[in-house]
Amino acid sequence: MKKTIFRYGLYGGIFICVLFLASWYLMPDLDFDAQEIAGYASMILALIFVFFGIRHYRDQVNSGTLSMASGIKIGLGISLITALCFGLLDLAYVLWLEPDFMENYYQAVLADLQASLPAEEFEMRKAAMEAEKELFSNPFISFALMTFTVFLIGIVITLISTLILKRKASDEI
């Protein structure tokens, strides 16, 4: 089980990092909304390795059977490794690759808000963002947030995959 978790977790981690870096280098002029969509799509695509890892374990390691508990353990392990890989990449991104990311993002959000909100509401939202800015500018908070986000999506994919793939010995054809 550990070998399957480690292998497919690394596959997912490498895949999510390659997708992220490819979008960063191949499409550097994407606006923040498009980057967010690409990021979530990358997370979901990379976490498809959860399904493949659970299926591999069921078919190649466990004689075609899979319990709910085993599927969940494998899926969560793969999700955690994938999430940690992405969290580490995000940490490297905000520390070395794009250290001005948070400030640029903050300014873009403020500009969007100013263009779309009345002055009073804009000032209230700006004050709220100022209060949160220091917290979210911390690279380690960013690491934790990105890791947690990928892991949460991985939990959902784990549950769906396990429900699809679970099979008792008597269920075999």
pLDDT tens digits, 62-110: 999 999 999 999 999 999 999 999 999 999 999 999 899 888 889 988 9
Amino acid in position 103 = E
Cβ atoms within 10 Å, residue 46: 29
Residue 49 burial by Cβ neighbours in a 10 Å radius (0-12, 13-18, 19+): buried
In the numeric block, which tokens belong to residue 109?
Answer: 């959000």
- The arithmetic mean of pLDDT across residues 123-127, rounded, is 92
Residue 136 pLDDT: 82
pLDDT tens digits, 41-52: 999 999 999 999
pLDDT tens digits, 128-149: 998 888 888 899 999 999 999 9
Compute the Cα dihedral for 17, 18, 19, 22 and give only its sign: positive
Compute the Cα dihedral for 48, 51, 54, 55 and give only its sign: negative
Buried b (16+ CB within 10 A) or exposed e, 110-126: eeeeeeeeeeeeeeeee
Between the CA of residue 31 and those of 39, 66, 90, what are the distances in Å?
A: 12, 43, 18
Q: What is the CA angle 99-151-37, rounded to 5?
A: 60
Q: Which residue has the tokens 């980057």?
A: 35
Q: Could you give the angle at which helices 32-46 and 2-26 cross, rounded to 10 degrees?
A: 160
Which ranges in the chain belong to alpha helices (H)? Answer: 2-26, 32-46, 48-56, 68-92, 101-116, 119-137, 139-165
pLDDT tens digits, 23-45: 888 887 888 888 889 889 999 99
